Amino acid sequence: MSDSDSENVQFFEGVEKLLEIWFASTDLDSKQCDLRKIPRHKLESLLKIVRCEIISFTRNEQVDAYVLSESSMFVSKRRFILKTCGTTTPLLCLKPLLLLAEQFAGYVDIENVFYSRKNFKRPELQMTPHQTFEQEVALLDTYFPDGAAYCLGPVNRDCWYLYTLNPPPMLVDSCTGTEPDQTLEILMTHLDPDIMALFSREECRSAAEATQKSGIDKLIPNMVIDDYLFDPCGYSMNGVSKTGCYMTIHITPEPEFSYVSFETNIAASSYRELISRVLDTFQPGNFVITVFANQNSVAVEAPREVQRLHSLGDWARRDIQHCRFKYYDLTCAFYTSQLSKLTQAPTTECTASNIHCYTTTDTCSCSNQHEGLSQNPCQSCKNDKNTLVNEVCVSNTSYCITHGTQCIRPASHEHELQNQLTLSQSQVNLPKCSSCQQSFEDIKPIRSRCYSNLTMSNSNSATSFNNGSTMRNSQLSRLFLCNLCVFSSTQAKLLFSWWRNKIS
């Protein structure tokens, strides 16, 4: 696709807003309460407030499943699930929904609420109250005084927001939460373009064809599938089982903002095989896994299982958080594909985006994409403390962080660093940054513990650092290209050759 074509692609926010409400009744006639008694035309009016509509419907004795113009809705006896993408406004339907639940279903009490979503790619395009999580929380708090809001994951990268009820112990009904419940959700980005092409009218003439060719029909057996293929591209499906379990998949295939979500509430003691099937089906670059399970679920150990999954095939975990609520355990984990970085075409510029890199106990987290890194784990730090300076990986600490052709080196530093780059006066005619054109000796380090803190030693066998640590030249030469990420590969090789001649 040309640059002009890419600019003409109309953006669509695939990330969904997921609202799940569990209703309860203390009346003796609670068996008569049922959300499925809400008339269809009332639900259609409700969805107009949300800015979407019903396009397909399937049901069994346990659940009514609706495919919407923007994702899905599931209605069972006392659980209501609304999952909508794009610029929809699901929280605006809360007040009329609660009224409908009381008027037609007989519910006056709410057992629990879950509102969650991944961070938006373009939040500025959302409508109030969904432009920020703070806006959403403020609205939710007006309905649920015992609500609590959480952000899992790094706030400056991919993260996942959650709002749920957290009542004081004295207000918790002993009968609440006795029904087994569990949910697995996988939110995927940077999908394989060839796989995403299946979900367009150019590649498949029908939703059934896309479902079969992609292998979606094999993810969970014995599901009655209701699928829809949008024109010119896009895909949604609901699957329901005889036991009332569901799965739902929604796909935004455009390569500029590709996104796939998978969600199911099937009960399983382990989700590892299912997770692997989903990943093999869609081949994402990055994904988030969330696993909920209450104490009565057969999946009660599933959240802890994810904690042990340091890697999943070609995907390495880079962050994980665990929460324990009144009745539910939750694990949220973030993974990145290592294979996609190793197989991409060589570049003449360093594409690393991290200012620095802290290694974890699991894998190298520096996410380097430099020329010279051809294996997994990272050949610079190898997650080995012997190649770390003060516990900080030096494989991605740079004088100037370059993104392609745009240099984002800070114009000034608020705090003068104690350790400045020490270079011999004889070091002249050094290459310049390929982006900002500043000479090597003029660029100051951004971090105090970066690779720039070295002072050349007269010894041929080792190099000394200002903090007192040393590194053998054989190690340093292996790290050298990786650290000079502000230079093009050609310029870095020239500097590397000059340095080797200097110490030899």
Catalytic residue set: 13, 16, 71, 85, 236, 250
Determine the straight-line distance between the first and last CA of the chain, rounded to whole angstroms. Answer: 49
Closest CA relative to residue 293, chosen from 145, 175, 181, 435:
181
Closest CA relative to residue 78, chosen from 93, 95, 63, 65:
63
CB 486, CB 350: distance < 8 Å: yes
CB 46, CB 84: distance < 8 Å: no
Amino acid at 356: H
Question: In the structure encoding, which two tokens stand for residue 316, read together?
Answer: 């390495």
Closest CA relative to residue 394, chosen from 289, 298, 482, 306:
482
Cis before residue 180, ω within 30 degrees of 0? no
The beta-strand segments (E) located in 268-309 are 284-294
Q: In a 3-state reduction of DSSP, which class is residue 64?
A: strand
Residue 316 phi, psi dihedral angles, 5° rounding = -105, 140
CB 81, CB 8: distance < 8 Å: no
Question: In the structure encoding, which two tokens stand for residue 465, read together?
Answer: 């650092």
Owner of token pair 């600490």: 397
Question: In the structure encoding, which two tokens stand for residue 422, read together?
Answer: 């020490």
Q: What is the DSSP letter of 6?
A: H
User: C-alpha distances in angstroms, 105 versus 31, 145, 383?
Assistant: 10, 23, 57
